[in-house]
Amino acid sequence: MRDSSDESSLPILVVSCDRFSDVWPVFFTLFFRYWPDCPFDIYLGSNYLRYEHPQVTTITVGEDTSWAHGARLMLESLSSEYVLLFLEDFLLTEPVDSDKVISLCELLKTLGGNCLLLRADSPSVERASVPGHPVITEVMPGELWRVSLGTAIWKRSVLLSLLTDGESAWDTEWLGSRRSDVLPGFYSTVSVAIARHNGLEAGKWKRYNLPLLRREGIAIPPGHPIMTRREDAMTALRGKIYSVPWAHRVARIAVRSKRRLVGLVRS
């Protein structure tokens, strides 16, 4: 493996925990099937358990106290300037173009950027163009999901600065987005650079993954249940609601209100 202190390297960090160890074989089967020529070092973060694979290095961080605390320890174990972040249930669905990912990483470095989301955003979300770089748009301060734990290239020090111990992944996106408003350099690709499905939500497999897994000959492990059809439909409905502009405005108000309430409680 390359030394992750080499500034030209882009380690992949898959943030996970022991509770989701049953998902690891599904994740990595699809990962190596759709990205067989991945040129980057691959790290899996967990508590105590390890995933035995010659191309994967496990980082163990001990007790699972919060998502943000564990992610912090995992990131601190690396020394590269940038990192490509995955979660353990991000299931690849199409071949990944290594050259494209390398090119996007170099672009982010050239811009001195802090984050580049590798998935196209909802058409309802307004973005600022980046002169001379039509493949990306700028994610402006105040946007609801400015900090997204979707597949993204992060400046490692910036992601570390946005983590608050005790917060869940959801909290990190909600509240971390507002913490990021004082920082420049957040971008998104205009088209999907790494195609993937979200595997689980609320600890259950989403039913829309079943055709993918059947096609790939992968059995769902017994560690987590499958959503009922009603649960799956409600999840899809929530996703559609969040693609509507007025829903973004309402959610922004809710985030600001939650921050004020947290501030009052802490004071």
Q: pLDDT higher for 166 or 233?
A: 166
Split at pLDDT 50, 70, 90, the class of 144 is confident
Q: What is the pLDDT of residue 56?
A: 98
34 touches 197 (CB < 8 A): no
**Would you say residue 267 has pLDDT above 80?**
no
Return the C-alpha torsion angle 262, 188, 102, 209, nearest 10. 80
Closest CA to 125 of 209, 2, 27, 249: 249
35 by DSSP, 3-state: which?
coil
Which CATH number goes with the domain that contains 143? 3.90.550
- Expressed as residue numbers, the domain containing 56 is 12-266
- Asked if residue 19 is part of any domain, the answer here is yes
Q: What is the pLDDT of residue 237?
A: 76
171 touches 68 (CB < 8 A): yes
- Asked if residue 110 is part of any domain, the answer here is yes
pLDDT tens for each residue of 32-80 = 999 999 999 999 999 999 999 999 999 999 999 999 999 999 999 999 9
> How many folded domains does the chain comprise?
1
Split at pLDDT 50, 70, 90, the class of 261 is low
Cβ-Cβ contacts under 8 Å for 154 (sequence gap 6 or more): 82, 83, 84, 85, 114, 115
pLDDT tens for each residue of 230-258 = 888 887 776 665 555 545 555 555 555 55
- Asked if residue 46 is part of any domain, the answer here is yes
Distance of alpha carbon 32 from alpha carbon 54, whole angstroms: 12
- Asked if residue 4 is part of any domain, the answer here is no
- Asked if residue 1 is part of any domain, the answer here is no
Average pLDDT, stretch 86-113? 97
- Asked if residue 7 is part of any domain, the answer here is no
Split at pLDDT 50, 70, 90, the class of 260 is low
Question: In whole angstroms, how far apart are CA 187 and each of 113, 127, 135, 263?
Answer: 8, 9, 10, 29
28 by DSSP, 3-state: which?
helix
Distance of alpha carbon 24 from alpha carbon 223, whole angstroms: 11
Q: What is the pLDDT of residue 121?
A: 58
Q: What is the pLDDT of residue 145?
A: 84
Q: What is the pLDDT of residue 264?
A: 46
220 touches 199 (CB < 8 A): no
Other Cβ atoms within 10 Å of 70 Cβ, number: 23
pTM of the model: 0.86
- Asked if residue 197 is part of any domain, the answer here is yes
- Asked if residue 210 is part of any domain, the answer here is yes
- Which residues are bridge partners to 83 per DSSP? 154
- The torsion angles phi and psi of 229, rounded to 5 degrees, stand at -60, -35
**Would you say residue 130 has pLDDT above 80?**
yes
Question: In whole angstroms, how far apart are CA 86 and each of 15, 38, 102, 243, 260?
Answer: 6, 14, 16, 22, 31
